[in-house]
Structure formats: C-alpha cells, structure tokens
Amino acid sequence: MVKKIISGGIAGIDAKIVEVETDISYGLPCMEMVGNLGGEVREAKERVRVALKNAGFVIPPQRITVNLSPADWRKEGTGYDLPIALALLSAMEQIEYRALEQVFIVGELGLNGEIRGVRGILPMAMKVSESGLRKMIVPKDNEKEAMAIAGVKVFGAENLECLLRFLKNENCWDRIEDSTGYVSDAICEATDNDFADIFGQEAAKRALLIAAAGFHNIVLCGPPGCGKTMLSKRVPEILPPMSERECLEVSRIYSVAGLLLGGDKLITKRPFWSPHHSTTPVALAGGGRMAGPGILSKAHKGVLYLDEVVHFSAETLEMLRQPMEERKITVARNFAAYEYPANFMLVVSMNPCPCGFYPDFTRCNCTPEQIRRYRERLSGPIRDRIDLFVDVPQVTMDEIKGKTGKKTGSEEMKKLVLRARCFQQKRYGGDGDVCNALLSVKQMEQYLNPKKEATDVMDKAFERGKLSLRGYHKVWKVARTIADIEESEYIERKHVTEALSYRERKIE
C-alpha cells in the first residue's frame, strides 16, 4: 500500500507542498527515488537507510519506490530526509500512519538519527497555515521559527527516538497547543550609534533625515575621514520600527538564506548590509547553484550601504538598475525563475576625486578630466536613480571642539522621520508600506499637491535641460518629503528649491 507524507520545499522565498509517496513491493531488492530530484535529495536514501539502521529498524529486502510529487518541479535541499524516513516506517508498519495524516514534516537526518535544522522553515509554516494544515514536525533548531505563525501545532524533534516516542502516544497532538504567532516584544538590542557622536556635518544629517523620511537613495561625497561611513551606519537608527508584517516579510528572506537557523527571534530591526567592493554580481543579486536571496534581498526594508562605490566592478554596480526601479529582482535558471523582494534604501559614499581632496586645491592636483573619469565609474543610469547627492566637507577644529553649531542626535531626527512617515501613511493609507520614494507617476499626479510658485521653479529647472524625466520626478518626490517633515499639505517654493539643491552638480 502506498503511504503519503506531506512535506515541502522552497521556491524563491515561497514554499511549495510536496507529497512523499512510498511503496514497498516484491521484486529485486532496491530503493528507487524519483520526482525530479537534486543531488542532495538523491543522497537522502543513504542517510535514511543508515539512520534507520542505527535507530534499530531493518529495511526489508524488497523493492522500495519513493516518489516526490509533483514531479515537474525540481526538489533541492536536505529537508526531505525525515519525511522519507517516516514514510518508510509507515509503509513497514512500524508506526501508526494515523499520527502522520495531515501533518507537514521536514528535517535533515544525521547517520545517528539526529534531526538537524534546515533553511526556509518560516515560509513553510506560512504555507502550512495557508493550505489548511495545522500540524508540523520540524527539527528542534527550527521550532521557534515555525511557531512564529499563529494557529499551527508545532513539534520540534531532536532525534528519531524522541520523535517516534511522541508519535506512539495515541493522542499525541492533543497535548500540543497552537502557536501564538509572532512575538512583538522580541526586539533586537539597541546600539550605541548616535548621530550626536558626529562632529558637525549638520547639512549631511539634514539630507539623511530627508532620505530616511521618504526612503530615498542618497550619495555622500567627501574627502577621506570626514565621517561618511559613520553617518551612513547610523541611518537605520532613525528609520521607523518595522511592523509585524514587515518583520515576517524580512524574516522569511533570512529563513530561506539560512540566517535564522537555531535563532529564537525574528528579524525585528531594519537590516543594514555593507558588502565589500570585491562582492560578485551573484552574491549581490542572489542565485547560485541552489538559488537563494542575495545581499540586495537581505537588505529588504533596510539599508544597503556601498562604501567607496567607485571601487565596485561595473558589472556588480549595474546589477542595481532593475532592483532600484522595480524593488524586486528575478533570478532565472534552466528549470525555474525565482523572484526576490529588494525594496532597500541605497546609501552610497565616495571620494570626490582620485586623491580624495577636491575642491581643496592646496592638496588636490587632479584635473577636471581625471575627476570626471573617476566619478563616471558610477554610471549615468545609476546616478539618475539616486534621489539626493550631498557634499560632506572636512570637519573644522571648531566643530571638533564643539564651539560652533548644534549637534543633532538620532532621537531628534527619528521623531521628525516618524512625523513625516505618519503624514505619508495618512495620505496613502495602508500600514505605511508606501513612502514618497515609491510613488508611481499616477500617484504623484494625485498626491503631490504643489503650489503654483513651486511648479514654476520646477518647470524652469526642467527647461534648462539639467534634469531627465526620472530626475524631474525624483525632485518632486524629495520636495514632497521635505514638505511632510514640516507637516505641510502643499509643496511650496522653498521645498522645491531645497530638493533641487540635492541634485548632482557637474564638474567644470
């Protein structure tokens, strides 16, 4: 008789239900596994055979057929070990099949019967909930991750012996309570990064405040040691806290990437990723032999920081084009195409010239042509997708000693960001997922609400030919954010003027 066990695998950042069918019949002793299997899945029969032997079970010398359905979808990973083993034991009548009916099972087996954690449990738990199933057997390492989805009974097993002992109890599932779901107080610890620690740079702080309020992309350009990296690393501290939906969305990406394995918390703080300039296009975009999310997707809902961006390869930087525009990235393979979210805030830092000291001509000997070639390593199409360009000057001694100006801190900046985001949420509705930087052209026509003098300034700027159509739209979006910070219903002339000041200036 054919025995069926419900399991699943990962496709992109989503899960798919897979049925593990097992049949034992008379014939030449062998164990055949079919169903469009990857290398790790084909190796499962040896892991399962030895694990069952060491657990005290003898596989009968008969013809065993294991099918992973649907066969038109490729199965990858080691999570099918446990369902295959339980399907075999059920077919051998070593355990009651009734305890396994309508139960989602996943896990890797060690040769000693240990059940090891696998990646992608969170999207699997989401799929279980959506499909009407209510029971899961997962590795102990993945138990808390699976329990982040409410209404699912989750049993975390350390080894085969522990699991079989559980399944032998007649009413085993009655003793397991439904999971309560996402725990909102599992907040990551606060950091010591505060904008108040940075001497001077009030203009750069103002620009970063605007960028955070509207989720705009920004470039910081200045000499070495002026504080570009310190400023950039503090951006997550002023971004709004993530909603429950955003936490689950980001955590699902990290689960598929294997970065939640063994952890007891979801991702509750906005991600900050700062890849080295030697990062490859595949590492940035995702993919690989077993397709998985790249750095662009891991920075979803957070900050992607590219330090000294001109040292990244041109091929790597051009990978940013589609995600910056569409907020997602599609990775195609021979057997499937996977879509990963990539809605990040890009923060870029760079030197103004090869030596780094332009426009200080007492130290800079670079020619205008050298400076242009240096800056053109960040291509025109990428530059056109940047909302704000900010010059970060060298700090003066008076600023270091605190004799001039004020020192704006993260707490003050975050209050302004939250105020602007609340203004946007009231305007656009929803749970704050739509920010000014993400507005479509149709939404801009509906929500910008500019005054006539502001429109006149923008019309003249566009007519002078210094703005592309994309740049024109980006200036309007930045102006809308500046108005939101001031809680102004209308975009005024001063808002547009400030937004235009953040466009890149050409080297003469």
Q: What is the pLDDT of residues 458-501, one digit of tens each?
A: 999 998 877 889 999 999 999 999 999 999 999 999 999 999 99
Alpha-carbon radius of gyration of the chain: 28
Distance CA 327, CA 297 (A): 9
Exposed/middle/buried for residue 238 (C-beta within 10 Å: 0-12, 13-18, 19+):
buried
Which pLDDT score, from 0 to 100, does residue 157 have?
Answer: 94
| Phi, psi at 350, each rounded to 5° | -160, 160
Q: Please answer whether residues 303 and 231 qualify as being in contact, where contact means their C-beta atoms are separated by less than 8 angstroms.
A: no
DSSP assignment string, 443-503: HHHHH--B-HHHHHHHHHHHHTT---HHHHHHHHHHHHHHHHHTT-SSB-HHHHHHHHHTS
pLDDT grade for 332, boundaries at 50, 70 and 90: confident
* Rounded average pLDDT over 377-394: 92
Residues 6+ apart with CB under 8 A from 333: 287, 291
For residues 319-332, one letter each, b for 16 or more C-beta atoms within 10 angstroms of the residue's C-beta and e for the rest, the string is bbeebbeeeebebe
Query: Which helix (H) or strand (E) is 283 found in, with range?
Result: helix 281-285
Q: The tokens of 190 are what? A: 């606060």
Distance CA 292, CA 259 (A): 12
Which pLDDT score, from 0 to 100, does residue 190 have?
Answer: 52
Place of tokens 């009407």: 132
- Mapped onto helix, strand or coil, the DSSP state of residue 232 is helix
Q: What pTM value is reported for the model?
A: 0.89
Which pLDDT score, from 0 to 100, does residue 508 have?
Answer: 47
Distance CA 268, CA 283 (A): 24
| Residue among 222, 192, 201, 193 nearest 400 (CA) | 201
Contacts for 356-363 with beta carbons within 8 Å, 24 or more apart? Answer: 356/223, 356/224, 357/223, 360/223, 360/394
Measured over the CA atoms of residue 65, residue 107, residue 256 and residue 175, the dihedral's sign is positive
Length of the chain: 508
Which pLDDT score, from 0 to 100, does residue 187 have?
Answer: 44
| Phi, psi at 97, each rounded to 5° | -70, -25
pLDDT grade for 185, boundaries at 50, 70 and 90: very low
Instruction: Answer whether residue 362 shows pLDDT above 90.
Output: no
Q: The tokens of 255 are what? A: 């689960």
Q: The tokens of 82 are what? A: 């446990």
pLDDT grade for 119, boundaries at 50, 70 and 90: very high
Place of tokens 């066990």: 5
Q: Please answer whether residues 88 and 59 qualify as being in contact, where contact means their C-beta atoms are separated by less than 8 angstroms.
A: yes
Instruction: Answer whether residue 188 shows pLDDT above 80.
Output: no
Lowest mean pLDDT among 73-77, 184-188, 231-235, 414-418: 184-188
pLDDT grade for 432, boundaries at 50, 70 and 90: low
| Residue among 230, 226, 286 nearest 256 (CA) | 286
Distance CA 143, CA 124 (A): 12
Order of strands, sheet of 303-306, starting from the edge strand that comes earlier in the sequence: 272-273, 303-306, 345-350, 218-221, 388-391
